[in-house]
Chain A
Amino acid sequence: MFEIFGIPSQALFGQLLIGLINGSFYALLSLGLAVIFGMLNIINFAHGAQYMMGAFAAFFLLNFVGLNYWIALLVAPIMVGAFGVVIERLLLQRLYKLDHLYGLLLTFGLALIIEGLFRNYFGSSGLPYRVPAALQGGQNLGFMFLPNYRAWVIVASLTVCIVTWFVIERTKLGSYLRAATENPSLVRAFGINVPRMITLTYGFGVALAALAGVMAAPIYSVSPQMGSHLIIVVFAVVVIGGMGSILGAIVTGFGLGVIEGLTKVFFPEASNTVIFIIMAIVLLIRPAGLFGRRA
Chain B
Amino acid sequence: MKRLLSTVAFAAVFAAGAAHAQVSDGVVKIGVMNDMSGTYADLAGPGSVVAAQMAVEDFGAAAKGLKVEIVGADHQNKPDVGSNVVRQWIDVDKVDVIVDVPTSSVALAVNEIVRQKNKVFLISGAAASNLTGDKCAPTTVHWTYDTWALANGTGNAIVKTGGKNWFFLTADYAFGHALERDTAAVVEKNGGKVLGKVRHPFPATDFSSFLLQAQSSKAQIIGLANAGADTTNAIKQAAEFGIVKGGQNLAALLIFLTDIKALGLETAQGLVFTEAWYWDMNDANREFAKKFAARNKGLYPSMVQAGVYSAVTHYLKAVAELKSDSDGAAVVTKMKSMPTDDKLFGKGTIRQDGRKIHPMYLFEVKKPSESKGPWDLYKVRATIPAEEAFRPLKDGACPLVKG
A230-B263 contact given A11-B213, A126-B232, A219-B237, CB 8 Å threshold: no
Instruction: Please name all residues of chain A whose beta carbon is closer than 8 Å to the beta carbon of B258 when the two chains form the complex.
Output: 125
Stretch of A168-176, A190-198, A262-270, A283-291 contacting B (4+ beta carbons < 8 Å): A262-270
| B195-253 residues at the A interface, CB under 8 angstroms | 198-201, 203-206, 208-210, 212-213, 215-216, 229, 232-233, 236-237, 240-242, 246
Q: A109-130 vs B: 1/0 string, CB under 8 Å?
A: 0000000000110011111100
Does A138 count as interface, using CB distance less than 8 angstroms? yes
A18 near B205 with CB under 8 A, answer no
Residue of A123, A150, A261 near B41 (CB, 8 A) is A123
A144-202 contacts to B, CB under 8 A, are 144-145, 147, 149-150
Asked, given contacts A127-B262, A138-B241, whether A8 binds B203 with beta carbons under 8 Å apart, the answer is no
CA distance A127 to B232 in the complex (A): 11
Complex Cα distance, B232 from A120, in Å, reads 21
CB distance from A20 to the nearest CB of B (A): 11
Most chain A C-beta atoms within 10 Å of own C-beta, residue among B45, B198, B206? B206
A19 to B258, CA, bound (A): 31
B6 at the interface (CB under 8 A from A): no
Hey, which chain A residues are within 8 Å of B206, CB to CB?
Answer: 18, 22, 219-220
The CA of A138 and the CA of B208, in the complex, are separated in Å by 14
Q: Which residue of A has the minimal Cβ distance to B35?
A: A124
Distance between B171 CB and nearest chain A CB, rounded to angstroms = 12
| Distance between Cα atoms of A125 and B215 in the complex (Å) | 27
Give A11's nearest chain B residue, CB to CB.
B216
A145 near B216: Cβ-Cβ < 8 Å:
no
A272 within 8 A of B: yes
In whole angstroms, what is the CA distance A237 to B45 when docked?
37
The one of A145, A149, A219 in contact with B246, judged by C-beta atoms closer than 8 angstroms, is A145
Residue of A nearest to B266 (CB): A130
Q: Does B42 contact A (CB under 8 A)?
A: yes
User: In the complex, which residues of chain A have a beta carbon less than 8 angstroms from the beta carbon of B216?
Assistant: 8, 10-11
A22 — nearest CB in chain B belongs to which residue?
A: B206
User: How large, as a class, is the contact surface on chain A?
Assistant: 35 or more
Q: Knowing A8-B216, A125-B39, A264-B210 touch, does A147 contact B240 (C-beta < 8 A)?
A: yes
Q: Is B385 positioned at the interface, with any CB of A under 8 Å from its CB? A: no
A125-B42, A125-B258, A145-B241 are known contacts. Are A150 and B200 too (CB-CB below 8 A)? no
B38 contact set on A, CB distance < 8 A: 119, 123-124
Binary flags per residue of A249-289, CB closer than 8 Å to B gives 1, else 0: 00000000000010011001101100000000000000000
What residues of A have a CB within 8 angstroms of the CB of B229 in the complex?
124-126, 221, 223
Q: B371 interface residue, CB < 8 Å from A?
A: no
A120, B210: Cβ atoms closer than 8 Å: no
User: Which of B42, B209, B259 contacts A123 (CB under 8 A)?
Assistant: B42
Given the complex, which residues of A lie within 8 Å of B263, measured CB to CB? 128
In chain B, what residue has the closest Cβ to A14?
B212
Question: Does A107 sit within 8 A of B, measured CB to CB?
Answer: no
Q: Which residue of B lies closest to A138 (CB)?
A: B242
Q: Which residues of B have CB within 8 Å of A131?
A: 240
Let me know if B209 and A261 touch, CB within 8 A. Answer: yes
- Residue with the greatest number of chain A CB neighbours at <10 A, chosen from B208, B210, B232, B267: B208
Check: A40 CB closer than 8 A to any chain B CB: no
**In the complex the two chains form, what is the Cα distance from A12 to B111 in whole Å?**
46
Chain A residues with CB under 8 A of B240 = 131, 138, 147, 149-150, 219
B72: Cβ under 8 A from any A Cβ:
no
- Are the CB atoms of A268 and B200 closer together than 8 Å? yes
Q: Complex: how many Å from CA A12 to CA B155? A: 31
Name the distance in Å between B161's Cβ and chain A's nearest Cβ.
Answer: 26
The reply to whether the CB of B172 lies closer than 8 angstroms to some CB of chain A is yes
Q: Does B264 contact A (CB under 8 A)?
A: yes
Selected from A8, A230, A265, the residue in CB contact (under 8 A) with B205 is A230
Tell whether A229 is near chain B: CB-to-CB under 8 Å: yes
Contacts of B246 in A (CB 8 A): 145
B84 at the interface (CB under 8 A from A): no
Residues in B neighbouring A50, C-beta threshold 8 A: none
Q: Which B residues lie within 8 Å of A128 (CB)?
A: 236, 262-264, 267
* Alpha-carbon gap, A40 to B209, bound state (A): 37
Beta-carbon contact of B262 and A125 below 8 Å: yes
Whether A226 contacts B198 in the complex (CB less than 8 A), given A220-B233, A221-B236, comes out as no
CB distance from B83 to the nearest CB of A (A): 22
In angstroms, Cα B203 to Cα A221, docked, is 13
**Chain B residues near A271 (CB, 8 Å)?**
200-201, 209
Contact A226 B205, beta carbon cutoff 8 Å:
yes
- CB of A30 closer than 8 Å to a CB of B: no
CB-defined contacts of A138 to chain B, threshold 8 Å: 240-242
CA distance A138 to B242 in the complex (A): 8
Docked pose: A265 CA to B258 CA in angstroms: 32
Task: Give the Cβ gap from A129 to chain B, nearest Cβ, in Å.
Answer: 10
Interface, chain B (partner A; CB < 8 A): 37-39, 41-42, 45, 172, 198-201, 203-206, 208-210, 212-213, 215-216, 229, 232-233, 236-237, 240-242, 246, 258-259, 262-264, 267
Known: A123-B38, A221-B233. 10 other contacts (CB 8 A): A15-B209, A18-B208, A19-B209, A126-B232, A138-B241, A144-B212, A149-B240, A150-B240, A268-B198, A268-B200
* 5 A-B pairs in the complex with CB atoms less than 8 angstroms apart: A8-B216, A123-B45, A125-B258, A144-B212, A223-B229
